[in-house]
A and B are shown apart, each in its own frame.
Chain A
Amino acid sequence: GAGVSQSPRYKVAKRGQDVALRCDPISGHVSLFWYQQALGQGPEFLTYFQNEAQLDKSGLPSDRFFAERPEGSVSTLKIQRTQQEDSAVYLCASSLFGLAKGHEQYFGPGTRLTVT
């Protein structure tokens, strides 16, 4: 079966541009997470959805970051007025169940964003 997919795989944006990153989770997965991975670092949590509800957005670094999952499947992470410090790999992960019991998260290949 298909895993988690993300598009685009690579994105170059000029500082100040808006970008939209897409995540297609595994079909039927309830939970969806976004993480930001800076070069040479471990991923850091951005936001969490359970179906269409955004239950935790405590990791979003600024109000320029916005995420949605309107129908409980595909999710989009939008970054407005990109800055150089936004350059990173953005990872999406999905999990079959909700938050209980620390179930496995399945990761997508990531979108590498470079802001010039």
Chain B
Amino acid sequence: AQTVTQSQPEMSVQEAETVTLSCTYDTSENNYYLFWYKQPPSRQMILVIRQEAYKQQNATENRFSVNFQKAAKSFSLKISDSQLGDTAMYFCALVVGSQGNLIFGKGTKLSVKP
């Protein structure tokens, strides 16, 4: 069975600072993909960043980057220069190549303070 664990239910950060959200996962598959999704209050879930497990290079998208440690099964998200609009629930998710559905963690509620 596949699992995703987010151990930080809530975090806060000052505007313009950097914050790191943690995620660990478990799967016995070799072919999988990892995602961070953002769910703003009362708004739709949107993709933040995606990582293919076979790629060693960490994915980056503007202010968002990941630290993918495959052996440790760790996939943390770093948000640089935090903005008020980054306030949201952040979900780490796993897709196993033989299936297609996302397996989500319980989420981390991030608050960016002015």
B-contacting residues of A (Cβ < 8 Å)? Answer: 3-4, 31, 33, 35, 40-45, 48, 56, 59, 91, 93, 95, 98-102, 104-105, 107-110
Let me know if B101 is at the binding interface, CB within 8 A.
yes
Q: Does residue B104 face the partner (Cβ distance < 8 Å to A)? A: yes
A44 and B104 in contact, given A102-B52, A104-B50, A109-B44 (Cβ under 8 angstroms)? yes
On chain B, the residues within 8 Å of A100 by CB distance are 97
Interface residue tally on B, bucketed by range? 20 to 34
Q: How far is the CA of A102 from the CA of B102 in the complex (A)?
A: 9
Among B35, B101, B103, the one with the most A-chain Cβ atoms within 10 Å of its Cβ is B101
B16 CB-CB contact with A under 8 Å? no
A residues less than 8 Å from B101 (CB atoms): 33, 35, 45, 48, 56, 59
Chain A residue with the shortest CB-CB distance to B4: A42
